[in-house]
Structure 1
Amino acid sequence: MKAPMDKHYDDLAKKIITSVDLDKTSPSFTDNLMSKIEALPLKSSLTYKPLISKPMLYLIGIGFVAFIIFMVQSSETTSLGWLDGFDMSFLSEFSMGDMFEEITISKTAMYSVVLFGAMLWVQIGLLKRRHDSQFSV
């Protein structure tokens, strides 16, 4: 029952579309438009604002380095397997005193914090590079 009505609407739409003339633009339309665009004052519509400020990046970096030094300096000597090949004996010369002797960190927590810090550092670099390339003029 809908087929005859749909055909009627289809024919009516075709008739209206073919009977309407297309609007013609002037030959100098593009030139006029471009001259108006060039006359507009230039202003930056996007202002780059970093996700994490430089002082905060430095603070994160210092905290990360301090945590790594703390882990290496901890009095507990355990074999970490894949880290045995690195010679970190030079770090034993630096003494932080007995400040953190009572704190114990499990291997799982240590690995998770180090991995989280490394992933955060990589993501910050990637996001910064992406935003720099997006907002470059």
Structure 2
Amino acid sequence: MEKHLDKKLEKLSDKMMQESGLEKPSFNFTNAVMERVEKVSANQITEYKPLISKQAWFVIAVALLPIAYIIVNNSSSSNSNWFDVIDFNSLFNYQFIDNMFSVTVSKTVLYTIVLFGLMLCVQIPILKNHFDKRFEV
């Protein structure tokens, strides 16, 4: 049944191809298309604006540096409570919140977090430069 249907479709397509013939584009087809492309690309140039400006990155860095300094300097023992640096008890007197901020962090985890943050700060400009070069025209 399918072979019969396939043969009918093949005969129909062959007949349509013979009747339609070859179509040829106009003499200046390529030039006309290229002119339109140039007009569109010239009209729609977008200027790159970063989502986070350089001033905002500077403010973020200035805000994170003291936090990293406090974390590194207050990790004298292997199980330091680095949430104890900030006194949250005066703001909240709930047992749940007291238990939540009594988390102990080992030096290894603390160093891992700091190094991860540093590596992230190093890799972002490198990747940005890579993608800027890749998308240059």
Q: Which category of TM-score, normalised to the shorter sequence, fits these structures?
A: 0.5 to 0.7
Give the whole-Å Cα distance in 2 for the aligned partners of 1:125 and 1:50: 12
CA deviation string 1:23-61 (max 9, x = no partner): 222222223333455456823443322132212211232
State TM-score, norm by structure 1.
Answer: 0.59
1:129 is matched with which residue? 129
Higher relative contact order (CA 8 A, sep 6+): 1
Residues 134 and 51 (structure 1 numbering): CA distance in 2 closer, same or farther, change over 3 Å? farther
1:91-106 matches, within 5 Å, as: 102-103=84-85, 106=106
**TM-score, reference length from structure 2:** 0.59
2:26 is paired with a residue whose SS is coil
Aligned residues: 115
Distance (whole Å) between structure 2 residues aligned to residue 41 and residue 48 of structure 1: 15
Superposition RMSD in Å:
3.3
Q: C-alpha distance in 1, partners of 2:67/2:13? A: 73
Residue of structure 2 in register with 1:95 after alignment: none
- In the aligned structure 1, how far is the partner of 2:39 from the partner of 2:51? 34
Identical counterparts, % of pairs: 36
Amino acid at match of 1:4: H
Structure 2 counterpart of 1:53: 53
Q: How many angstroms does 1:114 deviate by?
A: 0.7
Residue 110 (structure 1) aligns with: 110
The gaps in structure 1 that reach 5 residues or longer are 79-99
Structure 2: which 5+ runs fail to align? 86-103
